[in-house]
Structure formats: C-alpha cells, structure tokens
Amino acid sequence: MKQYYVIFRGYPRSQTFNSADDAVAWAKGQGIDAEYKVFIHNPREMISYIIPPRLTRAEIRSMPVLSAGHTSNLIVSRKVDSTHYNVWASRMTRRDGAEFDNEVVVEARRAPGHYVVIDSYEPL
C-alpha cells in the first residue's frame, strides 16, 4: 500500500496518511489550505508532487475542454514548479461501470510521456 507523507504549507511538521482523501479530510479539519505537497513513498525513491485544489461540479462545467479523450475531457494542463499536471473530467457514471459519477483524475508527469495518477475523486 502507498503511504502519503504530507507537508502542508504553513504547518510545521509532516503527517502520514494511507490515502490522499485522508490527507484532504485532515487538512480541512485543521483549517489548512487545500493545496499541499505529497511525497509518495517508494522504497527506491521519493517523488514529490503538489496536488491542486479539488474542483466542484460547477467549476468543472464552467471550464473549457482542452482535449477530448475516449471517456474523459482534459480540463486543466499546467506546470507548477517543475511538474506538469493534467486534470481529466470523466463523462462516465456509475451506470457505465465507473467508481464515481463524473470522476476527476489528476495526473503528474514523471518523465516525457509517462504520467502517474496522484489524485482521483467525485466532485461535489
């Protein structure tokens, strides 16, 4: 199982969580900004990403589609610090077999052409 070592901006010490959702829930309970730095533990390396704030359904609907995939729309593609991020909004629902209705998936680029999923959630 992956462990998430989270360092929150303006918070003096790191915390350990079993999922990004646990980290977000903890941060909200502490009144900490939604944007945080996550270290995904790998025995051979430490990888650091900044997870963008989570989007609501209304925000997603108002965003332009940058690219349309087979089941998802690319709605955000940007570089933060030195990492390139993509945010995809799925058009699939539970009736289609998806885990969430209109799931949002956040990817970070590890190497050219190689992205890893760092967050996924159902927008509120």
If we measure between CA atoms, which residue out of 19, 30, 80 comes closest to residue 6?
Answer: 19
Work out the mean pLDDT of the chain and round it to a whole number: 77
> Which of residues 114 and 3 earns the better pLDDT score?
114
What's residue 68's pLDDT?
95
User: Residue 45 contacts by C-beta under 8 Å, 6 or more apart in sequence?
Assistant: none
Query: Is 60 exceeded by the pLDDT of residue 80?
Result: yes
What's residue 44's pLDDT?
47
Query: Is 50 exceeded by the pLDDT of residue 112?
Result: yes
User: Residue 78 contacts by C-beta under 8 Å, 6 or more apart in sequence?
Assistant: 84, 85
Q: Are 91 and 98 contacting, i.e. CB atoms less than 8 angstroms apart?
A: no
pLDDT in tens, 64-79: 999 999 999 999 998 8
Amino acid identity of 95? Answer: R
State the pTM of this model: 0.67
Using DSSP bridges, classify how beta strands 67-68 and 45-51 pair: parallel, antiparallel or unpaired.
unpaired
